[in-house]
Structure 1
Amino acid sequence: MSTHSEKIHLQASVPQNLFGKRLDQALAEMFPDYSRSRLKEWILSDCVTINNHVVNVPREKMMGEETIEINATIEVQVQHEGQKIKLDIVYEDDDILVINKPANLVVHPGAGNNSGTILNALINHAPQIANVPRAGIVHRLDKDTTGLMVVAKTIIAQSKLVEQLQAREVSREYEAIVYGTMVAGGTVDAPIGRHPTKRINMAVRESGKPAVTHYRVKEKFRAHTYIRLKLESGRTHQIRVHMSHIRFPIVGDPNYGGRPRPPKAANEEFIETLRAFRRQALHAVQLELVHPVSGDWMSWHAPLPADFVHLLSIIRGDKVINGNGEI
């Protein structure tokens, strides 16, 4: 038995007979399947919109006929089954395992992904891990982000790893290719919360949770930059949101990157490679932590995946011939 987050989407028009009622009272009558405390929590967590505007005040008065929309998550207990899905295991002992996650693989079952996930693969590989909350998964990578993840095989190991993550003692470094040519590295210190209108997205918001991302330039190109990043916090979509926020979105990012933007006079191979790269060019390259049982400092490195390497080689080869010669 384990828990997972399930997305909830509710939408309805406020009946006229609820005129003058408070928002929390109206929601309790409109959505009786959910407790008043849960509905109030959703209001306070920016999960409720009225006519497409987030409202986080439970006492807001209703006029009638407003369109109410709720986009939230709830923890659901489910019995997951193991599935024979290949795992690229970088390290394993009695307490933890470290995997190199491929692209196009969801970490945890959820709405629309009830099977075929890393969690199912973990239960198949180590059946006892089903007794650990979330099958030992203590941090996630997005579906199309590749690279290193640590998983706890026991409850004790999970507790210790969660403590390290909360204390920011786990070192996680990433590599990415972004649009635009950076002058130098830097730090993005900007809080992240749920996007006010695009509910599956995150955004930099004053009301969000603190988030800090450090980045440095590895290579500069004509219209792109190859960078190394280090997280201080671990918010949902953090690197993707922060890079988009400073106007250097990650190449291929379907949510925050926009359309492919090849440089002027780029050759056909360059243009087609960019168009064909349909995931964020983001890879968790290095992971370092204190072993939760032995106390040893441990470090792992995952080489760049083949599609990332190919994209980088094409960008490195981007040159333009003009009247003044080769640039």
Structure 2
Amino acid sequence: MDPSAHTPAPLEAAIPFELAGKRLDAVLAQLFPDYSREHLKQWLKDGRVQVNGQVPKKPSEKVLGGEAVTLVPEPKQEVSAEAQLVPLDVVHEDAHVIVLNKPAGLVVHPGAGNPDNTVLNGLLYRWPELEQVPRAGIVHRLDKETTGLMVVAKTLQAQNHLVNQLQQHAVERVYDAIVQGELISGGTVEKNIGRHPKDRKRMAALEVGGKPAVSHYRVVERFRGFTHVKVKLETGRTHQIRVHMASIGYPLLGDPVYGGRLRIPRGMAPEFIDVLRSFKRQALHAGVLSFTHPATGEPVRFKAPMPDDMAAIIDVLRDDLDLAQAESSGEYDEWDYDDGIEVAWVGDDGQELSWE
């Protein structure tokens, strides 16, 4: 393949006079909205921007209006990963974006210990044109054992648009989680997240340092010793939900890194305990994803049902709760927990949850 085909042509624009007095980096963001501010700032530093034929000395320079601007974007880098046939559950596809429902056990991006057979490899196999988009269009990641929705951009413009939305906290991401412990009500966790000071493979909630992180959670259903919650992300730090919930004493069921020892309620039936112990991944599912479509400007929203393994855990916890209530009320002999009981998923205020 001809490498020159990846070199974008220079872009030219004239700075409107009404922008006189504005910072150059802010003006560039208006003139070239298809590129992120971070890319533009880096290209300024790299000398890829000229104003009236001269390379600006600093991004904060004030413009006068009427200047001729030339921008030479960084050449597109080919993705070095190999295209491989990896099954992908496509929830939505159009000319600009792809929405996937990722299963447990599938890594999003190649890395140490996972060199291939990732979502990225599968994307390149099914859409070879994604070789021209950084990271094959991947905008955000999910942990290997986390299931659910993620969006992929099919063009550089769509990718920049979606990355900007993420940075501005304009993308809605709501997760289902099963945590250890009985939460009384919802709340917000606002704790910085960074590398663990002693174990660099883990993340931690930090009093000093790290990056700001905010998670909002609501109680969906409460069981004996466990709670089904929905968590809405305001930021998207590595392992954010897992770290935040563990930091307040409610770690995710099955989390091998932050979960700690499994806490079994007193008197739970052995068959129920076996099911809980056999759940070997964090009980976390990205069930709702909404954003502004990068081409139409319209809001779009997608939902993915809870995977079977998490749904099975919910069923077991409901059965355990019903069995315990029947025993305590003396109705055990008349109760058959195979009949199934419908439980409405409502908030503490008795109203149906708006995040469903």
| Shared fold, TM over 0.5 | yes
* Cα distance between partner residues in 2 of 1:112 and 1:78: 19
Deviation per CA, 1:141-180, whole angstroms, max 9, x where unpaired?
0000000000001101001000000000000000110000
Shift of 1:259: 2.4
Partner AA of 1:275 in structure 2: R
1:307 corresponds in structure 2 to: 309
Alignment match, 1:175: 176
1:78-133 deviation line (CA, Å, top 9, x unaligned): 61111111100000001100000000000000011110100000001100011110
Q: Given the superposition, is the C-alpha separation of residues 264 and 120 from structure 1 closer, same or farther in structure 2, using an over 3 Å criterion?
A: same
CA–CA distance in structure 1, aligned partners of residues 162 and 190 of structure 2: 24
User: What SS is found at the alignment partner of 1:317?
Assistant: helix
> Does structure 1 residue 137 correspond to structure 2 residue 138?
yes
2:113 aligned partner: 112
Q: Does residue 186 of the first structure (1) align with residue 191 of the second (2)?
A: no
Alpha-carbon distance between aligned partners in 1 of 2:99 and 2:253, rounded to the nearest angstrom: 27
Q: Which of 276, 284, 299 pairs up with 2:286?
A: 284
Instruction: Write the deviation string for residues 185-243 of structure 1: whole angstroms up to 9, x where unpaired.
Output: 00001100100111111001121100000000000111100001100000000000000
Partner of 2:230: 228
CA distance in 2, matches of 1:298, 1:323: 47
- Tell me, yes or no, if the aligned pair for 1:285 and 1:301 is still in contact at 8 Å: yes
Cα offset for 1:258? 1.3
8 Å contact from structure 1 (residues 142, 237) kept in 2 = yes
SS in 1 for 2:256: coil
- Letter aligned with residue 160 of structure 1: H
**Structure 2 partner of 1:99:** 100
Tell me which residue corresponds to 2:80.
79
Corresponding position of 2:298: 296
Contact 1:287 1:299 in 2 (8 A): yes
2:258 aligns with: 256
Asked if structure 1 preserves the Cα contact closer than 8 Å seen for 2:79 and 2:134, the reply is no
Residue identity opposite 2:150 in structure 1: M
Preserved contact between residue 288 and residue 298 of structure 1 (Cα < 8 Å): yes
Q: Please tell me whether the aligned partners of residues 262 and 270 of structure 1 are also in contact (alpha carbons under 8 angstroms).
A: no
How far 1:325 moved relative to its partner? 3.0
Identity within the alignment, %? 54
Are residues 326 and 143 of structure 1, via their aligned partners in 2, closer, same or farther at CA, if it must alter by over 3 Å? Answer: farther
Which letter does structure 1 place at the counterpart of 2:144?
A: K
Q: 1:184 to 1:126 in 2, by over 3 A?
A: same
2:162 alignment counterpart: 161
- Asked whether 1:325 is paired with 2:330, we answer yes
- Between structures 1 and 2, the one with greater strand share: 1
8 Å CA contact 2:78, 2:132 repeated in 1: no
1: CA distance, partners of 2:286 / 2:79: 29
Task: Give 1:42's aligned residue.
Answer: none
* SS of aligned partner of 2:159: helix
Shift of 1:253: 0.4
Return the alpha-carbon distance in structure 2 between the equivalents of residues 109 and 222 of structure 1.
39
Query: Which residues of structure 2 form unaligned runs of 5+?
Result: 2-76, 333-356
CA distance in 2, matches of 1:325, 1:238: 43
How far apart, in 1, do the equivalents of 2:273 and 2:196 lie?
31
Question: What's the secondary structure of 1:100's corresponding residue?
Answer: strand
Whether contact under 8 Å (2:93, 2:99) holds in the other structure is: yes
Aligned to 2:128: 127
Counterpart Cα distance in 2 of 1:267 and 1:261: 14
* Counterpart-to-counterpart distance in 1, 2:329 and 2:115: 58
Structure 1 Cα separation of the partners of residues 108 and 269 of structure 2: 37
Q: 3-state DSSP class of the match of 1:203?
A: strand
Cα distance in structure 2, aligned partners of 1:311 and 1:323: 23
Cα distance in 2 between the residues matched to 1:83 and 1:141: 20
Match of 2:214 in 1: 212
Assess if the C-alpha contact under 8 Å between 1:107 and 1:140 holds in 2: yes
Question: Alpha-carbon deviation of 1:260?
Answer: 2.0
Q: Secondary structure at the match of 1:122?
A: helix
Cross-structure match for 1:275: 277
Count of aligned residue pairs for this structure pair: 253
Whichever of the two has the greater Rg, that structure is 2
- d(CA) in 2 for partners of 1:125, 1:275: 37
State the one-letter code of the partner of 1:100: N
Whole-angstrom CA distance in 1 between matches of 2:172 and 2:88: 22
Q: In structure 2, give the amino acid aligned to 1:91.
A: H
Task: Name the SS for the 2:301 alignment partner.
Answer: strand
